[in-house]
Amino acid sequence: MRLSRYFLPVLKENPAEAQIVSHRYMLRAGMIKQESAGIYAWLPLGYKVLARLEKIVHEEQQRAGHIPLLMPTLQSADLWRESGRYDDYGAEMLRIKDRHERDMLYGPTNEEMITDIFRTYVRSYKDLPLTLYHIQWKFRDELRPRFGVMRGREFLMKDGYNFDLTKEDALHAYNRHMVTYLRTFERMGLTAIPMRADSGPIGGDDTHEFLVLANTGESEVFYDEAVTDLKLGDRKVNFDNRDEVAEICREFTTLYARTDETHDAALFDQIPEERRKVGRGIEVGQIFYFGTKYSEPMGATVQTAEGTQVPVEMGSHGIGVSRLIGALIEANHDDKGIIWPEGVTPFHVGIVNLKQGDAEADAACENIHDSLIALGLDPLYDDRDERAGGKFATMDLIGLPWRITVGPRGLKNGVVELTSRRTGVSEEMTPADAIARIA
């Protein structure tokens, strides 16, 4: 992409309304524009990151055999009356009337709708297990929308729902989700710690939240520092093997890690003092097992092998896809701007032409740009007629992991400069070597 033809409305000034760094940088880097309190337009750069995150989420869900579908944002109130949550959900639910005075709502979550889909088609235990998920916009009329996309009113969530015959099967689905989430967040370059949590309005028995440690997080967290060293890495997981999946969950949930809602001071005090940590965290996901909480009132039953009818065992599992962008920036930035982890960066590399209009520099930049694209990479070429300082500031702000700087002086010696955004280290090398290093 050539920057002269792109739409990247960067701001020079710090927006006064942004209280935390991720919100400030998302506005300054031209990623989002606020349309109303807690409601954002995703400008091209922000939209690109969102799409990268969605892709990772899809891949990791499907690797575990979970099936994507897409449910609407608007729901009928009647479904929620069946589960009993229409009145319980309170002011966070945006309620709407259509022209026929029918009660509708903008979905804050989809347990009722997916249970209705399930009961419409599935009759037999032979069709289980089944896990369906979607990535769709949600609306919650948060009392205090703030921190940009971190606590929006409209936000993008991946929500998945498992349907199983027995509690044991449903707990396997719960564990499967835990492992897929570990991998998902790791691929994004985040350390997200599963913490025992409280179930809130979703209800249920078993639940873990995934928290990214950050001073600006809204949850208070208590943990054994050793949990931050756990890594799933690239080990292969057979998601059909219950013991293997359960063992990974044990590995990641045995050390103490809890939010203030479930914190147990006596247990916490048993951790060696130097590893006992109190901090703050951003909730980027949560998994729930809730058994028959929805299937029973909504009549989602299946026939067993013995011919009896039983309500199906369920759980639900959410990832805050749009919130993750805020969390990623909170965890990856410096005073010049964002520092994207490689797995989620909107462009892989920026190309800065120090002397636009110089035939040799222009040709070298074009060449590097096209070669990177041929390798399947996504470069952003700053081909504007601007001072070098301004170009560097923009690249630093938008945080691409690599920058290739091209100027007539270097080209005389056959070299360009390759700079790592994270380390700030620059090295001179031939264009071919710079390309090889990135690819």
List residues near Mg ion by CB under 5 A.
283, 286
Residue 286 in contact with ligand ATP, rule: CB under 6 A: yes
> Judged by CB, which is closer to ligand ATP: 162, or 286?
286
Residue (18 or 287) nearer to Mg ion, CB: 287
Q: What is the dihedral of CA 10, 14, 20, 22, to 10 degrees?
A: 10
Q: Which two tokens stand for residue 267?
A: 């247990």
Nearer to ligand ATP, 195 or 365 (CB): 195
**By the rule CB under 6 A, 350 interacts with ligand ATP:** no
Which one of residues 30, 217, 281, 318 is an interface residue with ligand ATP (CB under 6 A)?
Answer: 318
**Which residue's CB comes closest to Mg ion?**
286
Q: Is 323 in the site for ligand ATP (CB under 6 A)?
A: yes
51: Cβ–Cβ under 8 A, 6 or more apart, which residues?
none
* Smallest separation, CB 199 to ligand ATP (Å): 9
Nearest partner of 345 among 359, 329, 364, judged by Cα: 329
Instruction: Choose the contact partner of 151 out of Mg ion, ligand ATP, none; CB within 5 to 8 A by kind.
Output: ligand ATP
Q: Which is nearer to ligand ATP, 60 or 383 (CB)?
A: 60
Residue numbers 182-221 binding ligand ATP by CB under 6 A: 200, 202
Q: Does the footprint of ligand ATP cover residue 281 (CB under 6 A)?
A: no
Q: How far is the CB of 75 from Mg ion (least distance, A)?
A: 18
Q: How far is the CB of 145 from ligand ATP (least distance, A)?
A: 7
Taking CB under 6 A as the rule, does residue 152 contact ligand ATP?
Answer: yes
Binder of residue 285, out of Mg ion, ligand ATP, none (CB less than 5 to 8 A by kind): ligand ATP
Q: Which stretch binds ligand ATP (CB under 6 A): 21-29, 229-237, 319-327, 340-348?
A: 319-327
Binding of residue 284 to ligand ATP (CB under 6 A): yes
Task: Give how many residues touch ligand ATP by CB under 6 A.
Answer: 17
Question: With respect to ligand ATP, which residue has the nearer C-beta, 221 or 351?
Answer: 221
Q: Any contact of residue 140 with ligand ATP (CB under 6 A)?
A: yes
Give contact residues for ligand ATP (rule: CB under 6 A).
109, 140, 142, 151-152, 155, 157, 200, 202, 283-286, 318, 320, 322-323
